[in-house]
Amino acid sequence: MRTEKEKMLTESMYMANDAELRADAAVSRRITRLFNQTTEEQQAYRKELLRELFEKTGDNFYIEPPFRCDYGQHITIGENFYANFDCIMLDVAKIKIGDNVMFGPRVGLFTPGHPIDSQVRSSGIEFAKPITIGNDVWVGAQVTVNPGVTIGDGTIIGSGSVVIKDIPSNVIAAGNPCRVIRSITNEDKSYWETEKQAYWDEMKD
């Protein structure tokens, strides 16, 4: 017979009040409490705590306290990950985040789901579906990402969006529910390359 944790991580119905899962959650609560109590002079200690908390990290990452998660051990973040204040990741299922990803304040990634039927829901069983975010993604402030969503490489999610289905690569998407507004074009790339060059030119003066 599978454990409740095994069921949880394979998107099956499971009981969240299982003893093993409560123990895992207690570890996460301890580490996030310590992390959220750190000061700006404790950058190395912050990274040490997050490396202990997460399944895998890149070498370079920064999360602004406060940060909350369910377990931590089901979260993978890539190189150059940045999350602003009040990020929440409910990692009941796996959360995988690629390289060069930025989160605005109060971004929430929520993998858990609950039965629609109220009697089944009140029995305590639930389920979860993984969230995957590709490389070079910018997620604006107060975005909610729901269970089972994949966001493609190079995409921008506008602030305040509620993402309930997959978003493809290299688009700008926003709204509730979040939907594609337009593709990111070569004209966008040219414009921002020009702006970057102007910045560096000014720095040389």
- Cβ neighbours, 10 Å, residue 73: 16
**Residue among 150, 112, 111, 145 at smallest CA distance from 132:** 150
Q: Where are the alpha helices (DSSP H) in 116-185?
A: 118-122
**H or E segment to which residue 122 belongs:** helix 118-122
How are beta strands 67-69 and 87-90 bridged, if at all? parallel
> Which amino acid is located at 124 in the chain?
G
Instruction: Kindly list the catalytic residues.
Output: 114
What distance lies between CA 65 and its chain's CA centroid? 14
Q: Measured between alpha carbons, how far is 91 from 111 in angstroms, rounded to an integer? A: 6
- 141 neighbors 174 (Cβ within 8 angstroms): no
